């Protein structure tokens, strides 16, 4: 089962003495022809899973780096359907779970039931839809659950405790803990209470908690890897891939292997 496979991959990263590391990349940035190669590189570098962004013309949650990547992908003709078909064609050597991050409009244009079935057939483990509020997500959750695809919940750490509990109770796969208010993009610092809020969320969550938004350096990975079960890194990965700096990506992913060990 794909949801169980995702949870097991995160748990294995923790058992290995570090934390989970999920890189985000924009599918189609540089052309869909290189997507499998990029995912294979991330897998070989030690990624726990990979999050594939679907380019969209009005990306409300995306910062400038990911917006520009989305524009390049759209100009290359990338669509949701083409991304799913590309993932379906991945070779058997791609073993890490694949997660899609898309906005609702492409899903509705594709057709909700068809989207869910296509995700199942492509072996996609989870879906993130940042512009669907928790309170309006039931039909999406129910449709994906029927095909064993997790609807990954976003949980802003600034949300009231009662809302975080509702999100935690409904969560599948893992909870995506949003560490900052605002859009994606590298940050130099985070709120002083971020670690404390992550700890509280972990206490009420029945699934792993992964921290994301703004994490862009090995120091950030180690910091949040001690407070959460793993990290999601987007803008820094997208920028490095665009520049061809695979060494930096390998360094980032490698830093997760010791993230659970408190820094001296």
Q: Which of 168, 194, 170, 171 is nearest to 181 (CA)?
A: 194
Q: Is the four-CA dihedral 211, 88, 120, 66 of positive or negative sign?
A: positive
For residue 121, indicate whether it is catalytic. no
Q: For the chain, what is the radius of gyration of the CA atoms?
A: 17
Beta bridge partners of 189: none
Cα–Cα distances in Å, from 130 out to 42, 57, 63, 121?
24, 14, 13, 23
Catalytic residue among 29, 38, 62, 172: 62
3-state secondary structure of 52: strand
Catalytic residue among 11, 16, 36, 51: 51
Q: Residues in the chain, how many?
A: 264
3-state secondary structure of 29: coil
Q: Which two tokens stand for residue 225?
A: 């890897």
DSSP calls for 1-28: -HHHHHHHHHHHHHHTTS-EEEEEEETT
For residue 51, indicate whether it is catalytic. yes
Report the C-alpha gap between 33 and 89 in whole angstroms: 11
List, by residue number, the catalytic residues.
51, 62
């Amino acid at each position: 089962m794909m949801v169980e496979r995702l949870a097991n991959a995160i748990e294995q990263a923790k058992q290995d003495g570090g934390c989970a590391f999920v890189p985000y990349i924009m599918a189609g940035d540089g052309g869909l022809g290189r997507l499998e190669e990029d995912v294979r590189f991330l897998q070989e570098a030690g990624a726990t899973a990979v999050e594939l962004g679907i380019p969209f013309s009005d990306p409300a949650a995306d910062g400038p780096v990911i917006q520009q990547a989305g524009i390049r992908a759209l100009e290359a003709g990338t669509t949701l359907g083409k991304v799913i078909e590309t993932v379906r064609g991945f070779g058997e050597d791609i073993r890490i779970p694949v997660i899609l991050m898309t906005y609702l409009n492409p899903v509705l244009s594709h057709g909700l039931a068809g989207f869910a079935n296509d995700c199942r057939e492509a072996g996609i483990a989870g879906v993130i839809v940042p512009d669907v509020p928790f309170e309006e997500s039931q039909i999406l959750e129910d449709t994906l659950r029927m095909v064993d695809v997790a609807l990954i919940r976003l949980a802003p750490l600034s949300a009231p405790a009662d809302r975080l509990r509702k999100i935690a109770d409904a969560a599948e796969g893992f909870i995506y803990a949003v560490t900052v208010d605002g859009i994606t993009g590298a940050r130099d610092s985070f709120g002083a209470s971020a670690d404390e809020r992550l700890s509280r969320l972990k206490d009420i969550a029945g699934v792993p908690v992964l921290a994301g938004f703004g994490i862009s350096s090995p120091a950030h990975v180690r910091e949040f890897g001690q407070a959460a079960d793993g990290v999601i890194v987007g803008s820094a990965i997208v920028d490095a891939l665009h520049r061809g700096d695979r060494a930096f990506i390998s360094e980032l992913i490698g830093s997760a292997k010791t993230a659970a060990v408190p820094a001296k």
